[in-house]
């Protein structure tokens, strides 16, 4: 068993803002099966580890090099949280722009006379 491989895979997945379902679908396994890999309840087959490396466009060595310090510091979940907050802010701003556009568009339409 590769030490902390589940934690490393979870950190990698969260860094890329992907769901377990997305990865499980690409590996052609169930979400519970992938979840067990991330939680360390199940070993991962080497062939699946190769597939994961391909998904992220990195080597297996790169996966193994994911630092323990980074995992303990919780850097990856924090990065995901920050990205989620930025996405929320972007969506809010985009909605405001659309609302403003609609308001201006309505004001510019000629009023119909009865």
CATH number at residue 71: 1.10.260.40
Residue 76: per-residue pLDDT: 61
Residue 114: per-residue pLDDT: 60
Task: Look at residue 112 and tell me if it is in a domain.
Answer: no
More reliable by pLDDT, 67 or 61: 61
Q: Which domain holds residue 49?
A: 5-107
Task: Look at residue 114 and tell me if it is in a domain.
Answer: no
For 70-100, write each residue's pLDDT tens digit. Answer: 545 555 666 667 777 888 888 899 999 999 9
Mean pLDDT of the region 39-59: 92
For residue 57, what are its two tokens? 């466009």
Overall number of domains in the chain: 1
């Amino acid at each position: 068993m590769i030490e902390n491989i589940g934690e490393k895979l979870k950190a990698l997945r969260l860094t890329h803002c992907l769901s377990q379902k997305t990865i499980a679908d690409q590996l052609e396994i169930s979400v519970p099966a992938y979840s067990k890999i991330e939680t360390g309840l199940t070993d991962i087959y080497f062939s699946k580890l190769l597939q994961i490396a391909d998904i992220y466009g990195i080597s297996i060595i790169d996966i193994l090099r994911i630092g323990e310090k980074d995992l303990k510091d919780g850097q990856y979940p924090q990065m995901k949280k920050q990205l989620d907050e930025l996405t929320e802010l972007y969506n809010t701003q985009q909605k405001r722009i659309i609302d403003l556009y609609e308001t201006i568009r309505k004001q510019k339409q000629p009023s119909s006379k009865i």
